[in-house]
Amino acid sequence: MFTIDHLGIAVKSLAAAKSIYETLGLPISSEETVEHEKVKLVMVPVGESRLELLEATSDDSTIAKFIAKRGEGLHHVCLRVPDLSAAVAKLKQDNVRLVSEDIRRRDVADEKTPDIAFALHAVLETALQRMRSGWYH
């Protein structure tokens, strides 16, 4: 089954964006900085999905460039997929532009998430599979 894991939203100010969701009473994860991507982020769980609020920590980060060009807003959609290798094979077969040829493994909190990014509709899409609860095989 495909589900939306999270929507990545580029924001100028994490503090300002967080306050909106705090006002609504939603829980917000603690801030995490991803050095090599030059961003800091929080996750806001909403039902079975999450919002990922992303603020650049440097003017040359992809989030800073995205905001300079397009303003704040939807940066990427992250789909959870049942079979990442199969999903990647289908994308390649259809000549969808992959941002990287490699399936990356990220350590996010307590889980490992193999993922791959591709470009569609002027926003990034990320397909990921979780190494948890039977998703990963």
Binding residues for Zn ion, rule: CB under 5 A, are 8, 52, 78
**CB nearer to Zn ion: pick between 42 and 88:** 42
**Smallest gap from residue 119 Cβ to Zn ion (A):** 14
**Smallest gap from residue 37 Cβ to Zn ion (A):** 10
**CB nearer to Zn ion: pick between 52 and 55:** 52
**Smallest gap from residue 111 Cβ to Zn ion (A):** 14
Q: First vs last Cα of the chain: how many Å apart?
A: 14
Using CB atoms within 10 Å of the CB of residue 108, give its burial: 0 to 12 exposed, 13 to 18 middle, 19+ buried. middle
Q: Which residue is nearest to Zn ion (CB)?
A: 8
Closest CA to 1 of 76, 83, 78, 77: 83
**CB nearer to Zn ion: pick between 44 and 78:** 78
**Smallest gap from residue 20 Cβ to Zn ion (A):** 19
**CB nearer to Zn ion: pick between 35 and 95:** 35
CB 89 within 8 A of CB 95: no
For 47-122, where are the E strands, in sequence order?
49-56, 73-80, 104-108, 111-120
Distance separating alpha carbons of residues 9 and 55, to the nearest angstrom? 9
